[in-house]
Amino acid sequence: MHFKNRYHSIVALIVGFVFPMAIFAAERSVIVGFHLKPGQSEQELIRGIGGTIGHTYRLIPAIAVRLPEQALDQLRQHPLVAYVEDDKTVMVVEPMYTDFSLQRSFSSAAIATDTEYQDAWSVLHIGSKEVHQKGLTGTEIKVVVIDTGIDYNHEDLAANYRGGYDFIYGDDDPFDDSWNSHGTHIAGTIGAEGNGIGVVGVAPEVSLYAVKSLDAAGFGTVSTIISGIQWALDNDMDIINMSIAGVDSPVLQAATDAAYAEGLLIVAAAGNTFGGPVSFPGGYDSVIAVTATDQMDLRAFGSPIDPRVELAAPGVGILSTVQYYGYNWQSGTSQAAAHVTGVAALVMSAGVEDLNSDGLVNNKDVRLRLQMTAVDLGVQGRDDEYGFGLVNAAEAAVPPPFLSLNLVRERSWFRSMERVMLEDASYQITIENDSLRGMVGLVFENHRVRDDLLIRERFVNQAGDAPQKVIIDLDATGTAFKVLFIPFGKVGASAKITIRKQ
């Protein structure tokens, strides 16, 4: 299976030589936007003018198609159609350098002298080890890397890999076949295991998913990227990591905006533009654009200078995983973005309060937490070189002393659940019901459910006198509990949960 991509690449190369490109010039790949969610009528319209449907999206009302050039004007004038946009080419944000003379594999002898944290200097630098020692490692947070794929057999990634999809060749085997192991390198920085081998990631127990939207050479299209974003939403991801250098595309912006509005946190490389503008999709308001710094916290030479830079993170001389059990140093804003993604996973694992006072605890609060705890660099305040500053895991991933959760029954069970980490203190949990029928709270200690601490509340009974406010004491002194709250009732039903240290 892992050689399939190389096979397809060779076939494509041969076809390109044997058949003149003029044969294919009469068709064009476009993304067709509609006024309403595309259904049978829209699909029949595409087929009726000789088009071939690639992807039908639910995130945005659009279809990626290939159709005859002469049909474009007819399509643009149709009353069902809102716009027709060329399916533009995008590419990976290439590392600024990759010195293969430094490539290495770790033997048991090397492990005896090199610790994971010493080799992952950047993970130490942003305070991740301190967070790991508190038991916060990103457990159960779902991160998807939309990139060239992941070598999911790698000894430092295998235990954290959970699955994915390949939109280049259309199957569920998103193995990384890129020449520089780009997706695998990013995955290692985010979530390499703390297993005594190689390096350790920022969130070493995060759930890693791979979406292959870029081919072996690092190229893809707007449609393959949007397909990856759609996959992330459909599969209940928490965070998207992207390292894409593309042109400004209204349809791509619409997709990132829609995904962000649905609760996904989107982190992207700001681009290796050497003092130029931020690359897209990093330049969109719905995306966190991350620039790169070196060990002295200075802007990396290839990083952009742009007011859209939001955060900075280590991105020079980053050692991480590459294909076939190897490790390699790479540099660039791709590596920096991976650090921010890992810290975001730690923040979600720790829990965050309603920082923007909108009555919800979601991706927007996580984003604010990253901004508020960043170490200010350069000009005081947010600036064009460092954004809000260097991402700071030690300050960001701290369970808040006061936490307010709005537990809402969503259509997706996964998105209905709320998680919080409670450690080394006694807590009072107040549950004020609005319209739920009931709820369950699962208490985990060392990744195992404590059956004796199960929280089970029913707010509706036949007599109609079930309590609507419940107060529970939970003692986590000397340990750490992860509590998972699960609501029951109609979609939209809710309850407010307040957690205070005693």
Q: What is the DSSP string of 421-482?
A: EEESSEEEEEEEESS-SEEEEEEEETTEE-GGG-EEEE---TTS---SEEEEEEE-TTSEEE
DSSP H helical ranges for 272-416? 333-350, 363-373, 393-396, 413-416
CA distances from 84 to 53, 222, 236, 249, 280 (A): 14, 13, 29, 12, 20
CA 272 to CA 230: how far, in whole Å? 26
182 is annotated as an active-site residue:
yes
151 is annotated as an active-site residue:
no
The single residue of 279, 334, 349, 416 carrying the catalytic annotation is: 334
The single residue of 182, 185, 207, 331 carrying the catalytic annotation is: 182
The single residue of 87, 122, 132, 147 carrying the catalytic annotation is: 147
CA 243 to CA 337: how far, in whole Å? 8
* Greatest C-alpha distance within the chain: 79
Token couple for 445: 């200690």
Angle between helices 333-350 and 182-191 (to 10 degrees): 30
447 is annotated as an active-site residue:
no
Which residue shows structure tokens 């690639």? 54
CA atoms within a 13 Å half-sphere pointing along the CA-CB vector of 368: 13
3-class DSSP state for residue 356?
coil
Specify the pairing of strand 239-242 against strand 265-269: parallel
User: Would you name the residues annotated as active-site residues?
Assistant: 147, 182, 334
